C-alpha cells in the first residue's frame, strides 16, 4: 500500500511554514527499495511536495513550483490575457519505469475566488531542467510562439520516467484578467488518477 503525503510550504513576510496532511492511498504490489536520485534542489523553491511511499521505502515524488511572470499576452486576434509559468518535477524512486500521461481539457474554467475570470492550462514543448529554475519564466523561451499556435488546442504530455530518474515540465496558466490574491497550482495523484489543482479547484487530467 502506498501512502500519499502532501507537504505544503508557503511564504509570508520572508518566513516559511510547512503543513503535512494525508490525502489518500495508492495500491502497489511491487517489492522495491528506495534510492535517491542525483538531482538536488532546494525544497524551499517548491510550493507543494507530494510523496507516495511504500513501507519498504520505494517512493514517487511530485514537486510543484511557485509561479513566475504574470505578464500580458495578446493573441493574434488582439484579445489580451495574463499568463503565469509553473513547473513540476516527478522523481521515480522505484525499480520500474513510470508511464506518465497528462491531458488538459480544451475548455477554459472559472478560477475559484475570482468570479468571471477563466483559465486555460497549456503544456509547452520546452523541456524544463533544474538549471532553468532561477531564470525568468523558468527558462521558457518559446511561449508566445507556442501560445499563438496552441491557444485553441487541447494540451497533452506523454513521458516515460525510468527508475531512479526524474522528469520536469512547464505548465502555462492563461487567464483573462488579474486575480485577487495568490495563484497556486500543482499536479497530484490520487490512486492512479492525476489531477491538477488550481487554488481549491481540481482538474482531472
* pLDDT tens-place values along the chain, 205 residues long: 333 333 333 222 222 333 333 233 333 333 333 333 334 556 677 889 999 887 778 889 999 999 987 688 888 888 888 889 999 999 999 888 999 999 998 888 887 767 788 888 999 887 898 889 888 888 887 667 888 888 888 899 999 999 999 999 999 988 887 777 788 899 998 877 889 998 888 888 8
Collapsing DSSP states into helix, strand and coil, what is residue 91? strand
Is the alpha carbon torsion for 35, 37, 43, 48 positive or negative? negative
Q: Which residue is it, cell 481539457? A: 105
CA 107/CA 154 separation, integer angstroms: 8
pLDDT at site 103: 93
Is the alpha carbon torsion for 130, 122, 158, 195 positive or negative? positive
Each domain of the chain, given as residue ranges in start order, spans 2-204
Is the CB of residue 172 less than 8 Å from the CB of residue 124? Answer: yes
CA–CA–CA angle 139, 142, 148 (5° rounding): 140
Is the CB of residue 75 less than 8 Å from the CB of residue 122? Answer: no
Residue 75: how many CB atoms within 10 A of its CB?
Answer: 14
Amino acid at each position: 500500500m502506498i501512502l500519499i503525503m502532501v507537504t505544503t510550504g508557503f511564504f509570508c513576510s520572508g518566513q516559511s511554514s510547512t503543513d503535512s496532511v494525508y490525502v489518500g492511498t495508492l495500491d502497489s504490489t511491487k517489492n522495491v527499495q528506495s534510492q535517491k536520485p542525483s538531482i538536488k534542489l532546494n525544497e524551499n523553491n517548491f510550493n507543494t511536495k507530494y510523496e507516495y511511499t511504500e513501507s519498504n521505502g520505494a517512493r514517487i515524488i511530485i514537486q510543484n513550483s511557485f509561479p513566475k511572470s504574470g505578464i500580458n499576452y495578446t493573441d493574434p486576434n488582439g484579445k489580451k490575457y495574463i499568463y503565469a509559468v509553473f513547473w513540476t518535477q516527478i522523481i521515480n524512486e522505484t525499480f520500474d519505469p513510470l508511464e506518465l500521461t497528462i491531458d488538459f481539457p480544451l475548455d477554459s474554467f472559472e478560477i475559484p475566488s475570482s468570479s468571471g475570470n477563466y483559465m486555460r492550462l497549456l503544456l509547452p514543448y520546452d523541456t524544463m531542467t533544474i538549471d532553468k529554475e532561477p531564470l525568468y519564466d523558468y527558462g521558457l523561451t518559446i511561449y508566445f510562439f507556442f501560445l499563438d499556435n496552441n491557444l485553441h488546442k487541447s494540451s497533452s504530455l506523454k513521458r516515460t520516467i525510468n527508475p531512479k530518474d526524474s522528469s520536469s515540465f512547464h505548465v502555462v496558466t492563461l487567464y483573462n484578467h488579474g486575480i485577487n490574491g495568490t495563484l497556486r497550482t500543482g499536479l497530484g495523484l490520487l490512486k492512479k488518477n492525476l489531477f491538477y489543482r488550481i487554488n481549491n479547484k481540481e482538474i482531472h487530467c
